[in-house]
Amino acid sequence: MGLWKPRRYVQMSKGVVFWYNKAADFIMCPPSPIAPPPAGFQKIECVHASEVDMWSRRLRRQEKRIREMTETERFEYEGKVQSAIIEDMKKCLANASNETNRQFLAYFIRKAEEKREKRRMEVVETFMHCEAKEGVAS
């Protein structure tokens, strides 16, 4: 008997799931294949090995890009993601059905905004020691 060669597109016994946000060009691996994707994400179910390879390659490139970001680029990137999350929570707050949900959402919106304010980049003007006293550096 000769060697058995697999066909070009090998179907997997269990599909592999990714979540993809097209607006942010962001890929995530879900905690469970049956979990619903978060708002703004679509579920990508790969049933062929070539699809899994393609999405895994994209995920590796994304992780490499994130690791190589400068501090400013990371701040801008994460700020966009965080702003989208806050906006989504505000929409949910407007449509909340009971008081418990409204309190829960209001609390986490406030916490997310506080976290965003703490992370805001500060520009501190520095001065030389001799400038601390008036008229010394003139």
Q: How much is the average pLDDT of 49-56?
A: 90
* Domain-wise residue ranges, the chain: 9-68, 70-138
Q: Which residues lie below 8 Å from residue 55, measured CB to CB, with a gap of 6+?
A: 16, 18, 27, 44, 46
pLDDT at site 122: 58
In tens, the pLDDT along 121-137 reads 555 555 555 555 665 55
Q: How many helices (H) and strands (E) does the chain have?
A: 3, 3
89/99 Cα distance (integer angstroms): 15
Of 23-27, 29-33, 63-67, 117-121, the range with the lowest mean pLDDT is: 117-121
Give the phi and the psi of residue 131 in degrees, each rounded to 5: -80, -10
- Could you tell me the pLDDT band of residue 55, with boundaries at 50, 70 and 90? very high
Q: What percent of the chain has pLDDT over 90?
A: 29
Compute the Cα dihedral for 10, 31, 88, 55 and give only its sign: negative
pTM of the full structure? 0.57
In tens, the pLDDT along 58-101 reads 999 999 988 898 888 887 877 787 888 888 889 989 998 899 99
pLDDT at site 64: 92
pLDDT at site 75: 78
